[in-house]
Structure 1
Amino acid sequence: MKKSTIAAALAASIASAAIGIHLASAAVPAACRTIKLGNIGWTDNEVQDAVFTTLAEGLGYMVKTNLYSEEVMYAGMKDKKIDVFLDDWTPSMNKISGPYEKTKAIDVIGPDLTGAKYTLVVPDYLYKQGLTRFADIHKFAKQLDNTIYGIEPGNDGNEHILAMIKANKFGLGKFHLVQSSEAGMLSEVARKYPKKQAVLFLGWEPEPMNVQFHIRYLSGGHAYFGPHKGQATIYINTMAGYATRCANTGKLLKQFKLSVKDENAMMYKVQVDHAKASAVAAAWLKAHPSWISTTLDGVTTIDGKPGTQAVMAALKAG
């Protein structure tokens, strides 16, 4: 064998070894290969989790998702039993998440969605009758049967309503809150809406209710739900130090962003068309390859290989 050929073979061998060492060093640590997601039962959280899970599984991760109340979930992140929560609505959830942020028991990443809303809403036909502000609610007490419809017990929105009732804020002292679930609340709205009956309930966007019903967001509740009719920003929360320890997942989380329009569309398919969130997420991802490339820029598989190609291949195979 000529010296030049030997030298070339040696160089190739060294380069191959170097690449192997680089990939090994870039591989995700074993402790980070399972991602524990917290879910609070909202459809938007379900859609977010489905999109994130599809990406993560395409990268080779195992994702475990469990349903919790908000309080239990934040305690779980503090105790390092839950890794990630994708749906921290700010400022509405500040009362619950704030103490954990202040003591650095959790980290805040994001935002992953801007332009959201969360406050009390009424159908447009009731808004046109004059119920446009929180201060107007008590004037419609008889029509509303002194009732406000909320979602699951322990939810921050419910807690704000209960605080208003307890303090007789806006003259709501004689009102009562019906606590059930997102689906339960909206079924009551769906029953009353065609008959143009008065109903006052928690509303937010993204959420298919904004497409199903002509609803209006009330003003004047900024002390509880924030300014601009409950304008909200949604952040990602993790257990303390998670994005540093699990840097590859941390990079994905920092680049993970959805829009109100896209979430509304996916949530509609889940909530109204009764499609599985995983199937909806996969279909949306297949239709948005550029979003995948942007979100996975610099993110690898668990074995240190390019992430975008792996996820694209997994979607195609699926």
Structure 2
Amino acid sequence: MSLSRRPLSLVLAGSLLAMSGMAQAEEPAEVRFSSPAWPGVTVKTELASILLEALGYEPRAEELGSTITYQALNQDELDVFLAAWLPAQQGMYDTATDEGSLVDLGNNVEGARLGFAVPTYVYEAGLTSAEQLDDPEFADQLERTIYSIEVGSGMSDTLNGAVEADTYGLGDWTLSETSTPGMLSAVDSAIDREEWIVFAAWTPHWMNIEHDVRYLDDTQDMWGPDGGRSDVKTLVTTRFAEANPNATRLLDQLSFTADQQSAMIRGFSFEEREPDAVALEWLREHPARVEAFLEGVTTRDGEPAWPAVQQALEIPDA
């Protein structure tokens, strides 16, 4: 089962109706996030936490892997997960949502994608689709080698499956699997020398800012439906959504483009800045987006959210 986006008006109809025409009851203060050790969700969770704290909540985050996260959500040991990558986590997602204990608030990153990438000079030389990888004209220049990240990662599993199945004629290709830093070091070196290289890439990530690269068309959907394009879902527990309609509305409205999240990842992972500093800088530089996040939201004690957050975080006028 793939749970479709459930409109907030349906999930919270009873709670919102009860709030109509009267002061909002104060919601529980604690908001428990899972924040796996991935740079994108680290900064995004920090950003959500900064906003919630300014509204009077008490957010906290635990660094957990995705498998444990889904289990903890189903057992009401967590409240919020901002990094449900689909279809990469489809099996875990389907199992968890079948239990009926989670609410899918929809995609929080527009433009996420997995796929093969090459330097732009390679793309402009004619290699634009994965279908062309086995063409001797291109395969020889690439030395029939694909650079990738850690063995055991989802991307590694996808690539190994493609080699085994001879997808795109990759059956006789070599996978150079090291780590994300190791792979990107090889990309750096190749680009510096204007050499040919093909590697496993994804967005959002700072690699898309620091490197001039293009993604190859994935006509066989090797990386997933629609050529590897992905959703990054916000999940909350049903209990949390019902008890915290105001906080849930904020989380429902929290969304970014892939380029915006790539920039945040660059600040944290590439520039090695603290995630709270990166998140706060982004909030101050995007007042209109922050005001949109807070539309219809109040502080925990019922006051308008935007003026309170603007003052607390020193955000300029939108």
Is TM (by shorter chain) over 0.5? yes
How is 1:245-260 mapped onto 2 (pairs within 5 angstroms)? 245-260=243-258
How is 1:70-149 mapped onto 2 (pairs within 5 angstroms)? 70-139=66-135, 144=142, 146-149=144-147
Q: Which residue of 2 aligns with 1:195?
A: 193
**CA drift at 1:189:** 1.8
Q: Which residue of 1 aligns with 2:32?
A: 36
Residues 136 and 295 of structure 1: is their aligned pair in 2 closer, same or farther, counting only changes over 3 Å?
same
Q: Contact conserved, 1:119 with 1:221, CA < 8 A, in 2?
A: no
Residues 252 and 92 of structure 1: is their aligned pair in 2 closer, same or farther, counting only changes over 3 Å?
same
- Residue 76 of structure 2 aligns with an amino acid whose one-letter code is K
Q: Contact conserved, 1:121 with 1:200, CA < 8 A, in 2?
A: yes
- Aligned counterpart for 1:57 among listed residues 26, 49, 53: 53
Write out per-residue CA displacement over residues 44-96 of structure 1, whole angstroms, 9 at most, x where no aligned residue.
22232222121112122222223333333323323333322212333444344
**Rg: which structure is higher?**
1
What is the alpha-carbon distance in structure 2 between the residues aligned to residue 276 and residue 312 of structure 1? 21
**CA drift at 1:112:** 1.8
Residues 253 and 203 of structure 1: is their aligned pair in 2 closer, same or farther, counting only changes over 3 Å?
same
TM-score by length of 2: 0.78
Q: Contact conserved, 2:47 with 2:280, CA < 8 A, in 1?
A: yes
**CA drift at 1:105:** 4.9
Identity %: 29
What is the alpha-carbon distance in structure 2 between the residues aligned to residue 239 and residue 180 of structure 1? 36
- Aligned counterpart for 2:208 among listed residues 191, 201, 210: 210
- Residue 211 of structure 2 aligns with an amino acid whose one-letter code is F
**CA drift at 1:164:** 1.6
- Aligned counterpart for 2:306 among listed residues 295, 305, 308: 308
**CA drift at 1:272:** 3.3
**CA drift at 1:251:** 1.1
**CA drift at 1:194:** 0.9
Q: Contact conserved, 1:111 with 1:257, CA < 8 A, in 2?
A: yes
- Aligned counterpart for 1:265 among listed residues 263, 266, 271: 263
SS of residue paired to 2:84: strand
5+ residue gaps, structure 2, are 1-21
Q: Contact conserved, 1:219 with 1:228, CA < 8 A, in 2?
A: no
TM-score by length of 1: 0.78
Write out per-residue CA displacement over residues 261-314 of structure 1, whole angstroms, 9 at most, x where no aligned residue.
432333333333332221121122123333222212232333333322332222
SS of residue paired to 1:82: coil
Q: Contact conserved, 1:92 with 1:118, CA < 8 A, in 2?
A: no
Q: Which residue of 2 aligns with 1:164?
A: 162
Deviates more, 1:217-226 or 1:49-58: 217-226
What is the alpha-carbon distance in structure 2 between the residues aligned to residue 254 and residue 282 of structure 1? 20
Residues 185 and 42 of structure 1: is their aligned pair in 2 closer, same or farther, counting only changes over 3 Å?
farther
What is the alpha-carbon distance in structure 2 between the residues aligned to residue 50 and residue 129 of structure 1? 41
Deviates more, 1:81-90 or 1:221-230: 221-230
Write out per-residue CA displacement over residues 27-46 of structure 1, whole angstroms, 9 at most, x where no aligned residue.
112xxx22222233333222
What is the alpha-carbon distance in structure 1 between the residues aligned to residue 175 and residue 78 of structure 2? 31
What is the alpha-carbon distance in structure 2 between the residues aligned to residue 79 and residue 191 of structure 1? 47
**CA drift at 1:167:** 2.5
SS of residue paired to 1:225: coil
Residues 216 and 302 of structure 1: is their aligned pair in 2 closer, same or farther, counting only changes over 3 Å?
same
**CA drift at 1:138:** 4.0
Q: Which residue of 2 aligns with 1:7?
A: none
SS of residue paired to 2:195: coil
Residues 50 and 172 of structure 1: is their aligned pair in 2 closer, same or farther, counting only changes over 3 Å?
same
What is the alpha-carbon distance in structure 2 between the residues aligned to residue 86 and residue 297 of structure 1? 19
Deviates more, 1:148-157 or 1:277-286: 148-157
- Aligned counterpart for 2:228 among listed residues 227, 230, 244: 230
Q: Contact conserved, 1:50 with 1:281, CA < 8 A, in 2?
A: yes
Residues 66 and 200 of structure 1: is their aligned pair in 2 closer, same or farther, counting only changes over 3 Å?
farther
Q: Which residue of 1 aligns with 2:64?
A: 68
